Amino acid sequence: MDILSNLLLGFQTAGTLFNLGYCLIGVFLGTLIGVLPGLGPVATIAMLLPATFGLPPVSALIMLSGIYYGAQYGGSTTAILINLPGESSSVITALDGYAMARNGRAGVALATAAIGSFFAGTVSTLLLALAAPPLAQVALKFGPPEYFSLMVLGLSASVVLAHGSLLRAFGMIVFGLLLGVVGTDANSAVQRFTFDIPELADGIGFVTVAMGMFGVGEIIRNLENESDRSVFVSKVTNLMPNREDWRRIVGPILRGTALGSALGILPGGGAMLSSFAAYSVEKKISRRPSEFGKGAIEGVAAPESANNAGAQTSFIPMLTLGIPSNPVMALMIGALIIHGIQPGPAVMTQQPALFWGIIASMWIGNFFLILLNLPLVGMWAKMLTIPYHILFPGIMVFCAIGVFSLNNTSFDVYLMAVFGLLGYVFAKLKCEPAPMLLGFILGPMMEENLRRSLTLSRGDPLVFVKSPISLTMLIIALLALLMVLLPSFRKTREDAFVEED
């Protein structure tokens, strides 16, 4: 069996002591930032990116992936224990998780989250291993028109799945695409929109934008109303779910995993949308919908399985097509490029050890997470009591040093400050930053593929509808956008997000 030998190669790569160490560091840091509020995976990965330049690419990617799914995990711990979701994807877990904790069942809620996440992680890792090779085969046949249409589809999907006003999400995408154009034009070598600043000749750094908008902007927002975090942490006793609990969580875990795996592949939504969708499904089909919000164990099992599955499968488009489905994946692409690897369908055949090593490390990482989280839950609970006003100056320092060390230039630090301001303004205007970042990373790729397509077709724009693959993708994109305009779908979309507020 091909898949077995591939997975074996993956486990051999990820299983070296060196890589196991970086996997552990990754999930540890991920859990830490998941527990600490005001610091998300995007800002953390951006900060640590310079520190991984010296590592072999496999170890770097293993560690960065660990941070990503570790953060999902850590976020649910705080959601359950103190009703403060560390990550947006665990917002929904807080509803029933915290209610369970108030009923003295914090341990069971934590264990349920862990079991659900581990199961989902295992299934979606296998799914990734099964789905990636055929997808990469298809992707190898893609020419510029197919890539362009694929990106159009990706951006449309991220609008549909974005939170809040559609029109503004559209605006943010286009704004991101425009920012991506800044720098030297690949074709004519003309410096565009650089104001003759030499640092801008290579374009605006993605890490700088991410750190400004997600790191600094978030800090300013948190300073808006500094409320005291409740230091009351529920006591954790009796981790094991009883037989009745087991019976009740099997279905939600299976459904959550399926839903999360499917939604994770889509751009924009990923882990957060998966958890929202899984929760509403469980609430709808439950025979006891009134228990939801008051400590229903299904309300913990389903979203936790879904967000972990979604986090895992969001690697599929990145690894097979070289296209990011969310800002974290965009950073991963940045990391690969820094290590001299062009992300895309060729990675699997040219760098099999890297590709399968990352996949295998995800399963290992999920296993580490169980070990880290259940026995050490007391330590994480202690971390929760660090007040924010002690925490955020430290985050500022690490952001500034991280950005400076990218190119050893102060200009990047100034630029980070500007994007921090911009990130805060956009947050105030209820404009989602994630679609902007996707647009920003895809901007140069889209322009390049558009130019190539049109050159190949001698300037005929019909080239995008002449290729069947490209046409299909454009039709799906159009259908997705039309669907949003339907009143009934609009309502469902609003309902899906309404629980957060």
Q: Which residues bind other proteins (CB under 8 A)?
A: 50-51, 164-165, 167-168, 170-171, 174-175, 177-178, 181, 185, 187-188, 190, 192-193, 216, 219-221, 223-224, 226, 387-390, 392-394, 396-397, 399-401, 404-405, 408, 410-411, 413-414, 416-417, 420-421, 424-426, 428-431, 446-447, 450-451, 454-455, 458-461
Q: What's the min distance (Å) between Cβ of 217 and other proteins?
A: 9
Nearest to 87 by CA among 324, 366, 444, 328: 328
Q: What's the min distance (Å) between Cβ of 201 and other proteins?
A: 14
**Residue 28 vs 368, nearer CB to other proteins:** 28
**Residue 140 vs 223, nearer CB to other proteins:** 223
**Residue 316 vs 463, nearer CB to other proteins:** 463
Q: What's the min distance (Å) between Cβ of 296 and other proteins?
A: 31
190: which DSSP letter? Answer: P
CA distances (Å), origin 149, targets 126, 132, 299, 436, 476: 28, 20, 38, 18, 10
**Residue 294 vs 451, nearer CB to other proteins:** 451
**Residue 292 vs 426, nearer CB to other proteins:** 426
**Residue 164 vs 375, nearer CB to other proteins:** 164
311, containing H or E segment? helix 298-313
Q: What single-letter amino acid sits at 450?
A: L
CA dihedral for 246, 251, 252, 253, sign (positive or negative):
positive
**Residue 12 vs 405, nearer CB to other proteins:** 405
**Residue 175 vs 276, nearer CB to other proteins:** 175
Q: What's the min distance (Å) between Cβ of 13 and other proteins?
A: 25
φ and ψ of 184, to 5 deg: -75, 130
**Residue 212 vs 365, nearer CB to other proteins:** 212
CA dihedral for 448, 439, 462, 185, sign (positive or negative):
negative
Q: What's the min distance (Å) between Cβ of 458 and other proteins?
A: 6
Non-local CB neighbours of 297 within 8 Å, separated by 6+ positions: 96, 100, 108, 109, 112, 241, 245, 248, 249
Nearest to 17 by CA among 59, 68, 48, 77: 59
Cα 403 to Cα 486: distance, rounded to the nearest angstrom: 43
Q: For the stretch 240-273, what's the b/e string if a residue is b when 16 or more beta carbons lie within 10 angstroms of its beta carbon?
A: ebeeebeebbeebbbbbbbbbbbbbbbbbbbbbb
Cα 59 to Cα 69: distance, rounded to the nearest angstrom: 16
Q: What is the CA radius of gyration of the chain?
A: 22
Cα 329 to Cα 64: distance, rounded to the nearest angstrom: 10
Q: What's the min distance (Å) between Cβ of 164 and other proteins?
A: 8
Residue 203, strand partner residues: none
Q: What single-letter amino acid sits at 22?
A: Y
Cα 60 to Cα 64: distance, rounded to the nearest angstrom: 6
**Residue 126 vs 383, nearer CB to other proteins:** 383
Q: What's the min distance (Å) between Cβ of 257 and other proteins?
A: 35
Contact (CB, 8 A) for 80 and 301: no
Q: What's the min distance (Å) between Cβ of 64 and other proteins?
A: 17
**Residue 102 vs 428, nearer CB to other proteins:** 428
Q: What's the min distance (Å) between Cβ of 208 and other proteins?
A: 11
Q: What's the min distance (Å) between Cβ of 307 and other proteins?
A: 26
Contact (CB, 8 A) for 23 and 364: yes
Contact (CB, 8 A) for 357 and 10: yes
Q: What's the min distance (Å) between Cβ of 139 and other proteins?
A: 24
Residue positions counted in the chain: 501
